Amino acid sequence: MDGAKVTPGRTAGLYVGAAVLRFAIFTLLPGLPDLLTGRVEISTPVTSFKRLQEGLFLYNHNVSPYDGGVYHQAPLLLPLFSLLPSFTSAPIFTYLLYIAVDLLSAGALWRIADSGEAGSSALFTSPRREKRWSGFVIAALFLFNPFTVATCLGRSTSVFTTCAILHAVAKAVSGAPFGAMVAISFASYLSLYPLLLLPPLVLLCYDRQRSERATKSAVKFAAICVSTVAGVLATLFQMSYLITGSWEFMPSTYGVQLTLSDLTPNVGLWWYFFIEMFDSFRSFFLAVFWLHLSSYVGGLTVRIRRQPLVALTLILGIFAIFKPYPSISDAALFQAMVPLYRHVVPLMRYTFVSTAVIMYATCLGPAFYYLWIYAGSGNANFFYAITLVWNLGQSLLVCDLLFAVLRDEWEVERPEMVGKEIRQI
Amino acid sequence: MPRLLASALRLRRDPRILKFPPYLSLLCILVGVAWLFLLPLDRYSRKTYISENALLPGQVHTYFGGSDQNVFRAYKHEVNELVGKSNTEINDKLEPIVKGLGLKTARQNFTYHAAGHDFSGENLYAILQAPRGDATEAIVLVAAWENVKHEINRNGIPLALTLLRYFKRWSLWSKDIILVLTPDSIAGPQAWVDAYHDAHDPSHVSSLPLKSGLLQGAIALDYAQEGRFERVHVVYDGVNGQLPNLDLINSIVNIAGGQMGINIALQEMWRHDSGYPDRLRTMLRGMLKQGLGLASGAHSSFIPYHVDAVTLQPFGQGWQDEMAMGRVVEGSFRSLNNLLEHLHQSFFFYLLMQTDRFVSIGTYLPSAMLVAANFTIMAIALWVKSGQPAAGATSPSSDKTKKLGTTTSPAAAERDLFLPLGVVALLQSLSIVPLYLFNHAPESALTPLFATFALLNTLLPPALSHLLTTLPTTPTTPHQYNLIKSFSLLLLGMFLSTLATLNFSLAMITGLLAAPLSFVQPYRSPAAKTAATVLLNALSPTAVLLAGVLYWGTTDVTGVLREAAVAWHVCGTYSPVVWGEEAVKEKTT
C-alpha cells in the first residue's frame, strides 16, 4: 500500500468506482437520499438541501429567497441550481453535480498528498516521512468514507465548502497563492467559518512560494493575500447583491451562523446549550463560543509554525467539533486530512479508542434521535449525550494527532529521547 | 497524583494485565445474567403506580349494562349470521348498522405481498364526533374479525358495536371515538394506522377518506370466547418490542381489578401466585416476546406511531359477563377521555412481573449493557494483544529494553490492518444475502432455502479459515486473527449496545447466544476444536430457530419463516436483520 505505483487506469478506476457507487445508490435506492437529506446529522439549517429547494422555489418565482426565514445559504448557489434542470423533473443533473464535486475534492486531496507537504514542509522534515500513503490511497479513503458518501447522498451544500477548502490547500501546496486565496474566499463566502483558516493558509502559501517569483517580506506577502481575499469577497458580495436585489442575505446567511438563531438539533455542542439559556445571557455566550472557536487559530498557527498543513488539519478537526452548525461532512473533511499523517500514526496512542468511540456514537446517535423524536420514549438529553460522545471521539483524534506531530518534532530536536516514554501535561 | 499516574502507566505495560480480560468479560456475562434473575425480587422491582394524575382510573360510575344487554344480543345475532361470509359481505352488512347509529363511516382497501402470498382485505371504520371536543384528538376502539389465532371475534364485534351505540348517548366525550373493524389482527390495523398517519404506500394501501384528530390511545377487543369469563388477559407487546406507556396498563388493571373485581393476567400466565418463579416466568415470557418483536395483536401496529394501545382478551370460566367487559372498556375510555396531554409521565421501557410489579429501564438495562460490554472488553484486549510482539519473545526483549532503554518504541508494534478489515467488512456485508432471500422467497421455497442456509452456515466457517491459512501469498499471522476477532467483537458489542436501547430483550438474547464468541480461540487439541465447533454450531441462528420450533411445536419451520417475512413486509419488523448479523459473526472464528 505504501507508495504504490499509480497508473492512469487505476486513477480512472477509483474515480469511476466512487461515481458508480454514488450513482447506483441514487438510482437504485431512491428513498435513501431523501431519508439522509432529512437527517439532522447531515443537513444543518445552513447546509440543508431541502431548504435550498425552498430558497430556489422562491428565487424562481421572483420572491426574495430569504423571505420566510427558511433559507440560510449563500445567494450564488441559487443561480447555479436554477441553471440545472428542475430537481423534481430531472434529478439526475443534481446527482451528477454532487458526484462531480466529490470527485473534484478527491482530486485536490490527491494533489495535497502527492506534494509530500505533510511529511516535509519548508521548515521541518520528519524523519519518518518515508512511510506515507500515496495520493491514490488517500483519495480512496476520502471517496469511500461512509461519512463522505452519506453527505453526498444527503446533498448537503457543505460539499461545496469542502471542495473549496481542499482546493485552497491544494493550490497553496502547489505554489499558487492567488488560486488558494480565491478558493478560500469562495469557501468563506459559502459558509463563513473557513475565513478562520486564513492565517495558517497564508503561512502555507508563503512557505511554498515558487522561488523564481517569491515575495521575501512576510508582512508584504500576508498583506497581498488578505487584500486578495477581501477583493474576491467584495466581488462575490456585490454579485450576490445584484442577484437578490438587497443586502438582506447578509443577516440571513452569516447572521444566522453568528447568532445561532435556528436551534435545530445537530451533532454539535451549541444547540442544546443555547436552548437551555436565558435570553439575557445569550449574546455574552455567543461571543464566548465564537471567541473560543477562533482562539485555536492563533495558538495552533504559532505553535506549529513549521508545519502549517498540520495547523490547517487540526483547525478543521476543531471546526468539526465546535462550529455552530457542524455535520458529519465536517468530520469527513477532517478524516480526509488525517491519513496524510500516516508517518506519525505509530506515535498516536488512542487510535483504537477514538475510532471505537466515533463508531459507537455513529451507531447510537440515530438510535437515540429515533427514541427522542419518533418513539417519544427518550428526550433531548439522550441525543445531546451522544453528541457529547461523538465530539469526545473527535477531540481524542485531534489531541492524539497533535501529540503525535509535536512528538515527531520534539524527537528531531532531542534525538536522545527517541523511544522514551513521555507524559503529556 | 503524578505518582499514581506513573504507577498506572507502569501497570499498563505489564504483560500480566492481558491475562485479565477473558475473566473480566466472563464476569460481565455472569453478572449480567445474575442481575436478570434478581429483578423479580421485591427489593429490585417496584410496585406500579399511576403517574398521570389526569387519568383518574376507576373514579367514575360506569352505566353500561341493563338494556344494552338486549342490544348486544341483537348485534350478536347479526354477527353470527355473517360467519363464513367474505370480507366485503361482512362490511356491507355492518356498515348500515354503524351508519344507523348516526355515525360517519368509511372503508379502506389494502393488499400486502409477502412470502408469495397476498394479504388483502377491507377495513371499515366509523367516527363518533365528540360532543365536547373539536376533533383534534381521538381514542380508538379496534375489533378485528379474527384474532391472531384466527378465531372469530364472536363477542368482540357485537360488544364494540354496542359500546359505540352506548357512547353515542353520552355528551361527556371530549375526544372523538373511532371504531375500527378489521378483517384480521395484523395487516388490517397496520394498514389503517399507516394510512391514518399518511405513512402508507398508496399502491398497496388506500388512503383514508375520513379522519379525526391525533390518536391518544387505542384498545383492541379480542373476545372470541363464548359464555362467561373469569379474568382478562392484557396483551401489550408492540411491533419491534416497543411497549405502550405503563400508565395505560396500570389504569386498566386498576379499573378492572379495583372497580369491577376482574383480575388481570399478563403474558399468558393464566395462573400467577405472585411468587418468585411466576414473576420470573412472566418476565422471561415478556422478554422473549419483546425479543421476537412480532405483532401480538390488533394493538401492536399502533405503538410505533406513539399511540399507546393494548388488547383485552377475556379468558377462563367464571361469572363475568359481556357487560362487565363492556364496563372495563367504558371505564378505560373515560380515563383516556380525561387526558389533557399525551401519555408521557410513566415508563415506556419496563418489564412487568405481575400486574402490579415492574422494573424500569434504569434497573434492567445494565444487564444487557454488561453482556454487550464483554464483547468490547475482549475487542480492546485483543487489539492491545495484537500490537505486542509474539508471546515467546516477550520476556527476553523486555529485559533488553531495560538495559538498552532506547531500542524499542513505547508505541505498539505496527499492525497490518488491511486483511482483517477486509474480511470483517466482507462478512458483515454478506448478511444482506440471507436477509434478502428469506424475505423475498415464496413460501414453498422457504424450507429448502433454510436447509441450504443451515448447511452453508456450518460449512462456511471451516472453509473460510482454510482459505485464510492457505491461499494468501503472505501467510496470515496470529496477530491478524486477533485483529479479525477484535474487529468483529467490537462491531458486535457496538450493535448490541445500540440495540439494547431500542429493544432490550433482543439485545440480551442475541448477546447471550453470541457470548461464546468472546472466548473461542484457535485450539491445538482436536477435542477442544470439535467441542468449540459443535457449541458454535449449536448456538448458530439456524440451530436456535430449529430448536425453538421443536420446543414449542406449535408450528413448523416454514410457518416461522413465513411469519417473519410477513412481519418484515407488513409491520417493518427488523429482528430478522439481527439474526442475519449474528450468523455472520460466527464465521469469523
Residue spans of the domains in chain B: they are 16-41+364-391+414-587, 53-355
Separation between Cα atoms, residue B436 and residue B430, nearest integer Å: 10
Q: Which of A363, A377, A420 lies nearest to residue B495, judging by beta carbons? A: A363
What the block records as the C-alpha cell of A7 is 497508473
Minimal-distance CA residue of chain B relative to A348? B411
Kindly report the length of chain B.
589
Question: Can you give the pLDDT of all 589 residues of chain B as single tens digits?
Answer: 566 666 766 666 666 777 788 888 889 889 989 998 998 888 888 888 888 888 888 888 888 888 889 999 999 998 888 888 888 889 998 899 899 888 889 999 988 877 767 788 899 999 998 888 888 899 999 999 988 888 888 899 999 999 999 998 888 899 999 999 999 888 889 899 999 998 888 888 888 888 888 899 999 999 988 888 999 999 998 888 888 989 999 999 999 988 888 888 888 888 888 889 999 999 999 988 888 877 888 998 898 888 999 999 999 888 888 899 999 999 999 999 988 888 877 888 888 988 888 998 888 888 888 888 888 888 888 888 777 654 433 333 333 333 333 333 334 455 667 777 777 777 777 767 777 777 777 767 777 777 777 777 777 767 776 676 666 555 566 777 777 778 888 888 888 888 888 888 888 888 888 777 777 766 666 776 677 677 766 666 667 777 766 666 555 556 566 666 555 555 444 444 444 444 444 444 4
* Strand-pair partners of A283: none
What pLDDT is attached to residue B507? 83
Phi, psi (rounded to 5 degrees) for A2 = -75, 120
3-state DSSP assignment of residue B428: helix
| Residue A176 maps to a domain | yes
Q: Are B215 and B305 in contact (CB under 8 A)?
A: yes
Q: Which of A346, A359, A420 lies nearest to residue B494, judging by beta carbons? A: A359
Is the Cβ pair B502, A419 closer than 8 Å?
no
Among A201, A215, A194, smallest CA distance to A172 is for A201
How far, in Å, are A175, A229, A340 from residue A171 at the CA level?
6, 14, 16
| Residue A382 maps to a domain | yes
| Residue A190 maps to a domain | yes
Q: Which of A346, A360, A370 lies nearest to residue B409, judging by beta carbons? A: A346
Q: Which of B407, B408, B498 lies nearest to residue A364, judging by beta carbons? A: B498
Using a CB-CB cut-off of 8 Å, the residues of chain B touching A363 are 494-495, 497-498
Is the Cβ pair B306, A375 closer than 8 Å?
yes
Separation between Cα atoms, residue B184 and residue B119, nearest integer Å: 10
Separation between Cα atoms, residue A39 and residue A36, nearest integer Å: 5
3-state DSSP assignment of residue A294: helix
Separation between Cα atoms, residue B177 and residue A88, nearest integer Å: 40
DSSP letter, residue B257: I
Q: How far apart are the first and last CA of chain B?
A: 42
Residue type, A62: N
**What sections of B14-109 are H helices per DSSP?**
20-38, 68-81, 87-100
Separation between Cα atoms, residue B587 and residue B589, nearest integer Å: 5
| Residue A422 maps to a domain | no
Work out the minimum CA distance from B419 to partner chain A, whole angstroms.
Answer: 12
Name the band, by pLDDT with cuts 50, 70 and 90, for residue A425: low
Please state at what angle helix B478-502 crosses helix B575-587, rounded to 10 degrees. 170
What pLDDT is attached to residue A424? 62
What pLDDT is attached to residue A168? 94
Count of domains observed in chain A: 1
Minimal-distance CA residue of chain B relative to A419? B409
Using a CB-CB cut-off of 8 Å, the residues of chain B touching A364 are 497-498, 501
What pLDDT is attached to residue B400? 35
Is the Cβ pair B406, A349 closer than 8 Å?
no
| Residue A3 maps to a domain | no
* Per-residue pLDDT tens digits for B490-548: 888 888 888 888 888 888 888 888 777 777 766 666 776 677 677 766 666 667 777 76
Work out the minimum CA distance from A253 to partner chain B, whole angstroms.
Answer: 34
Q: Are A378 and B349 in contact (CB under 8 A)?
A: no
* Per-residue pLDDT tens digits for A258-286: 988 888 898 989 999 998 888 899 999 99
Own/partner long-range contacts of B45-48 (Cβ < 8 Å, ≥24 apart) = B45/B279, B45/B353, B45/B357, B45/B358, B45/B359, B45/B363, B46/B357, B46/B358, B46/B359, B46/B360, B47/B356, B47/B357, B48/B246, B48/B249, B48/B250, B48/B253, B48/B355, B48/B356, B48/B357, B48/B358
Residue B474 region by backbone torsions, left for phi larger than 0, else alpha for psi between -120 and 50, else beta: beta
Among A269, A368, A375, A327, smallest CA distance to A38 is for A327
Q: Could you tell me how far CA B275 lies from the centroid of its own chain?
A: 26
Q: How far apart are the first and last CA of chain A?
A: 35
Task: Give CA torsion, residues A17, A18, A22, A23, to 10 deg.
Answer: -40
B97: CB partners within 8 A, 6+ apart: B75, B78, B161
CB neighbour class for A364 (10 Å; exposed up to 12, middle 13-18, buried from 19): buried
Minimal-distance CA residue of chain B relative to A1? B418
What pLDDT is attached to residue B306? 86
Q: Are B101 and B199 in contact (CB under 8 A)?
A: no
Is the Cβ pair A364, B501 closer than 8 Å?
yes
- Residue A87 lies in domain: 8-417
Residue pairs spanning A and B at CB distance below 8 A: 60
Is the Cβ pair A363, B498 closer than 8 Å?
yes
Is the Cβ pair A360, B411 closer than 8 Å?
no
Q: Which of B344, B490, B501 lies nearest to residue A371, judging by beta carbons? A: B501
Q: Is the pLDDT of residue A188 over 90?
A: yes
- Helix (H) / strand (E) element for A28: namely helix A8-28
Mutate which of A1, A354, A355, A377 to test chain B, going by most B C-beta atoms within 10 A? A377
To the question of pTM greater than 0.90 for the whole model, the response is no
Using a CB-CB cut-off of 8 Å, the residues of chain A touching B497 are 360, 363-364
* Strand-pair partners of B107: B124
Residue scoring higher pLDDT (B9 or A54):
A54
| Residue A1 maps to a domain | no
Separation between Cα atoms, residue A226 and residue A220, nearest integer Å: 10
What pLDDT is attached to residue B567? 58
Q: Which of A1, A348, A418 lies nearest to residue B406, judging by beta carbons? A: A418
What pLDDT is attached to residue B589? 42
CB neighbour class for A376 (10 Å; exposed up to 12, middle 13-18, buried from 19): middle
Residue type, A306: R
Residue type, A313: T
- Helix (H) / strand (E) element for B218: namely strand B214-221
Strands B117-128, B104-114: pairing kind = antiparallel
3-state DSSP assignment of residue B378: helix
Q: Are B381 and B16 in contact (CB under 8 A)?
A: no
* Strand-pair partners of B140: B178, B218
Chain A residues with at least one Cβ partner in B under 8 Å: 1, 346-349, 352, 356, 359-360, 363-364, 367-368, 370-371, 374-377, 418-421, 423
Phi, psi (rounded to 5 degrees) for A121 = -95, -175
Q: Is the pLDDT of residue A104 over 90?
A: yes
Look at the block and give the residue holding cell 464476569: B27
Look at the block and give the residue holding cell 412472566: B282
Mutate which of B247, B402, B409, B495 to test chain A, going by most A C-beta atoms within 10 A? B409
Separation between Cα atoms, residue B516 and residue B160, nearest integer Å: 51
User: What is the CATH architecture of B53-355?
Assistant: 3-Layer(aba) Sandwich (3.40)
Using a CB-CB cut-off of 8 Å, the residues of chain B touching A356 are 376, 379-380, 490, 494
Using a CB-CB cut-off of 8 Å, the residues of chain A touching B349 are 377
Is the Cβ pair A421, B410 closer than 8 Å?
yes
Q: Which of A346, A349, A367 lies nearest to residue B501, judging by beta carbons? A: A367
Minimal-distance CA residue of chain B relative to A344? B411
What pLDDT is attached to residue B473? 55
Residue B551: Cβ within 10 Å count: 8
Q: How many helices (H) and strands (E) does chain B have?
A: 20, 11
Is the Cβ pair A356, B9 closer than 8 Å?
no
A145: CB partners within 8 A, 6+ apart: A332, A335, A336
Provide the b/e sequence for B130-157 (b: ≥16 CB within 10 Å): beebeeebbbbbbbbbbbbeeebbbbbb
| Residue A425 maps to a domain | no
Residue scoring higher pLDDT (A233 or B461):
A233
What pLDDT is attached to residue A297? 93
